[in-house]
Structure 1
Amino acid sequence: MLALRPVQPSDLPQLQQLARDSLVGVTSLPDDIERLREKILDSCASFEADVRAPGGENYFFVLQDLVSGRLVGCSEILASTGCNEPFYSLRNRPFSSESRELNIQHGVPALSLCQDLQGQTLLRGFHVDADRVRTAESELLSRARLMFIAAHPQRFAESVITEIVGYSDDDGQSPFWDAIGQHFFDLPYVEAERLCGLQSRSFLAELMPQYPLYVPMLPPEAQACIGRVHPDGQEAFDILAREGFETNSYVDLFDGGPTLHARIANIRSIARSHMVQTWKSSQIDARGRYLVSNDRLADYRAIVAELDVAAEGPVALTPDMLAALDIDEGERIRVITL
C-alpha cells in the first residue's frame, strides 16, 4: 500500500533521487542536497506553524510504499505566491491599435511580463515514478493536496493555480526559450531552469524584457510552444483538468507552458469530498475506489482504498488502512471517489 504524508528530514537521500529523475522545468525540485534540505525544513516549519491566513508556507508531500519504505513521488503546495519573492508570469493578451482616420482597429497577440498571479495558492513540484504514471497512486499524489486544502481552508487562498511544464525536446531544447530568454541570458534552457531551482525565478525574470513581445514576430516554432504541454507533463494537466481547473491567459515566462486556474469552490476534490466515521473490519464488501485522508496537519495521511461508502453511516476500514492513515477506529476521514 502507498500513502501520502508530509516530508521528513530523513527523506532527504531518497528525495534527491526523485529530483534527479524529475522533468526539466520542475524548478521547485532541484537536484541539490542543500537546497532540498532547506525545502524540507521549511515544509516542516509550515506544518507546525499556527496559521490564520495564507502566507509563504510551503507544504511538501511524499508518496511512500509502506512495505519497502521507498519514496515513489512528491508534490507541493505553496500557500500564497508573492510572499517571499515576486511571482512572474507572461500575460498572453491582444495589444489593440486603432486608426480613426483609416477606420481600422486591430489586435495583435502580445506577451507581457506581469505579477498578476500573486496572492494565489500554487500547486507545484509534482513528480511520480515512471511506472506509476496514469495509475490511482498518481491521482493520489496530485489530488490529496486538494483534500488537504479542504481540511485546512484558512491556510490557503480562494483560488489555486499551477504552472504546467512547457515543451522542450529530448535534448532539453526549448524553442520558446531560444526565441526569447536565450537572447537576454546567453544560457541554455536546461541551465536556466537549474539556476531557478537553486536560487529563484525572480533574478532571471527581472532581466526579461519589460515591454510587450508581439507573438507574430516570434519564430513559428516558438509561437507553437505558447500554451503547449510537455508530453511528460500531460498527466499532471489532465488530472487537474478533471478537477475543474482551466487554462487562462497566462503562460510560463521560460518555456511558454500553460497556467491552470480554479476557484476553490469549483474544485472537485474540495467541493465534493465529505467526512465519514470509521469502524474496523477484517473484510470489506467494496463498492468503489476512493481517495481517503485524515484531516490532520503535521500527521496528514492519504491513501487509495476499495470501500463501501454509503450516503449515511460509518465506513469500514481494514486494520491496514487504519494504520496507513495513522488513525484509530471511530475517527472521521475525508473521502471522494477516485
Structure 2
Amino acid sequence: MTFRIRVARDEDLQHLYEMAKLTGGGFTNLPPDKPALRAKLERSHAALARDDHAQADDLFVLILENIETGDVRGTCQIFTRVGQQWPFYSYRIGTVTKHSQELKRTFRAEILSLVNDLEGCTEVGGLFLHPGERAGGLGLLLARSRYLFIAQHRARFADRILAELRGVIDEAGGSPFWDGVAGRFFGMNFQQADEFNATHGNQFIADLMPKHPVYTAMLSESARSVIGLPHPSGRAAMRMLENEGFAFENYIDIFDGGPTMTARTDQVKTIRDARRATIVAIDPAGEPALAATGRLAGFHAALAQVREVQDGVTIDPAAAEALGVAPGDAIVWIER
C-alpha cells in the first residue's frame, strides 16, 4: 500500500470526525465535534487560497491518505501564529528562593506562573495516526511532513515553533493536573473543559483563572507527579521532537500539565537540512527518504527512495506516483 500526505478537503470531514472519536480525550486540536472540525477545514481552505508571504493567523490541515483505497488514516495541523484570536496561555515552571537569617535556612519553592510568552509562535499539533497504521514509518512521515510544508512556505511562519504534548490522563478520562489546579476554579471537570476549549477557545481561562502564581507544594501529589510529563502514548512523539531539535524549556499546558516543546524554526532538523533538487530519472534504487513537492493546495509528501546523481536526484516509481512527479519536476527531500 502507498500513502501520501496532502492538504485536507471538505470530503475528509467524516474521516477526521471518526479519527477524533479515537483520540481518548485531551486532544484539543482534534475534537470529536463536526462543526468545530468543519470550521478548521474552512480556515485551512482560506489559508491555502492566499498565496503571498505575509504572516497571518493561518491554519493548515494535512491528512495521510491511502492512495489505493482513498481512506484517510492520519492527520496533522500547523498554526502559523498562535495567540492572535485568543490569548495563548502556558504555565511556566519557575523557582522562588527565600532565605531566613534567623533559621539559617534557604527555601526554594517551585511555582507555576500563567504566561503568554509563546504568543506569536508557529505551532505544530493535531497529529493523530490511526492505530491500525502505527508501523512502517507512517508516524514519522506524518510528523515530518509538517516541517517540509514549512520549508516550502518558510515566509508564512514565525521564527520560533512549539509543540504541545498531551499530558497524563487517567483511565476515567480525567486529568490529575486539572483536578489539582484549574478544576478548583472552574466548576467543571477536565473533559467538560477540554470540550469547551476545543469548540469555543480558551478565553474563559483569562476570565476565571487566578493570575497569581501557584505553589506546587500546595498541590496534591497526584497533580505534582504529572507536571511536565507526556501521556504514555506521546512518549515516542516527544522523542521525535527532541530528534528534530525541540527542547522542554519549562512551559506546560494549562489544562493537563503536559510539556510544551520549543525550537527555533530554522534550527529544526528537517527544515534546516531539507534539500531541493530536480528529478532526472525514475529508478527504484536509492536510500530511504521523505520527499515533498508542490505549494499550498498542491502540496504532497511521501516516503521515497532517493538517490543523488550528478544533475539532480532519482526517485522510486511508487513515490513518483504518490507525489505526481516526473523527470524535470522539483522536490524537497530529507533522509529518513
Q: TM-score range by the shorter chain?
A: over 0.9
Partner of 1:266: 267
Give the superposition deviation at 1:297. Answer: 1.7
Give the superposition deviation at 1:123. Answer: 0.8
**Percent identity between the aligned chains?**
31
Partner of 2:302: 303
Q: Which moved more, 1:204-213 or 1:111-120?
A: 204-213
**Cα–Cα, structure 1 residues 121 and 23, in superposed 2: closer, same or farther, change >3 Å?**
farther
1:30 matches 2:31 = yes
Q: Deviations over 1:245-274 (max 9, x none)?
A: 110111001110001011122211011110
CA-atom RMSD, angstroms?
Answer: 1.7
Partner of 2:241: 240
- Superposed, 1:46-85 pairs within 5 Å as 46-85=47-86
- Superposed, 1:154-169 pairs within 5 Å as 154-169=155-170
SS in 1 for 2:297: coil
1:88 matches 2:89 = yes
In structure 1, C-alpha distance between the alignment counterparts of 2:104 and 2:294, rounded to whole Å: 61
Aligned counterpart for 1:334 among listed residues 328, 332, 335: 332
SS in 1 for 2:21: helix
Partner of 1:216: 217
SS in 1 for 2:73: strand
SS in 2 for 1:309: strand
Superposed structure 1 runs of 4+ greater than 4 Å apart: 98-105
In structure 1, C-alpha distance between the alignment counterparts of 2:151 and 2:207, rounded to whole Å: 35
- Superposed, 1:158-197 pairs within 5 Å as 158-197=159-198
Q: Deviations over 1:308-329 (max 9, x none)?
A: 235x432223444223213332
In structure 1, C-alpha distance between the alignment counterparts of 2:207 and 2:305, rounded to whole Å: 49
Normalising by the residue count of structure 1, what TM-score does the alignment of the two structures yield?
0.94
In structure 1, C-alpha distance between the alignment counterparts of 2:77 and 2:149, rounded to whole Å: 11
SS in 2 for 1:192: helix
Give the conservation status (yes or no) of the 8 Å contact 1:60–1:74: yes
Q: Deviations over 1:51-110 (max 9, x none)?
A: 433221001100000000000100001001111110001011012334567665533110
| Letter paired with 1:9 | D
Task: Provide structure 2 residue ranges, at least 5 long, that are not aligned to the other structure.
Answer: none
| Letter paired with 1:300 | F
| Letter paired with 1:117 | L
SS in 2 for 1:80: coil
1:316 matches 2:298 = no
Give the superposition deviation at 1:211. Answer: 0.8
In structure 1, C-alpha distance between the alignment counterparts of 2:320 and 2:136, rounded to whole Å: 22
| Letter paired with 2:124 | L
1:106 matches 2:104 = no
Give the conservation status (yes or no) of the 8 Å contact 1:27–1:197: yes
SS in 1 for 2:139: helix
Partner of 1:198: 199
1:42 matches 2:46 = no
Task: Provide structure 1 residue ranges, at least 5 long, that are not aligned to the other structure.
Answer: none
Give the conservation status (yes or no) of the 8 Å contact 1:87–1:202: no
Give the conservation status (yes or no) of the 8 Å contact 2:160–2:264: yes
Give the superposition deviation at 1:295. Answer: 4.2
Give the superposition deviation at 1:210. Answer: 1.0
SS in 1 for 2:327: coil
| Letter paired with 1:317 | I
In structure 1, C-alpha distance between the alignment counterparts of 2:102 and 2:52, rounded to whole Å: 58
SS in 1 for 2:174: coil
SS in 2 for 1:306: strand
Give the conservation status (yes or no) of the 8 Å contact 1:23–1:232: no
SS in 1 for 2:114: strand
Give the conservation status (yes or no) of the 8 Å contact 2:284–2:317: no
Give the conservation status (yes or no) of the 8 Å contact 1:280–1:319: no
Q: Deviations over 1:14-36 (max 9, x none)?
A: 11111111242111111111111
Give the superposition deviation at 1:124. Answer: 1.1
Partner of 2:147: 146
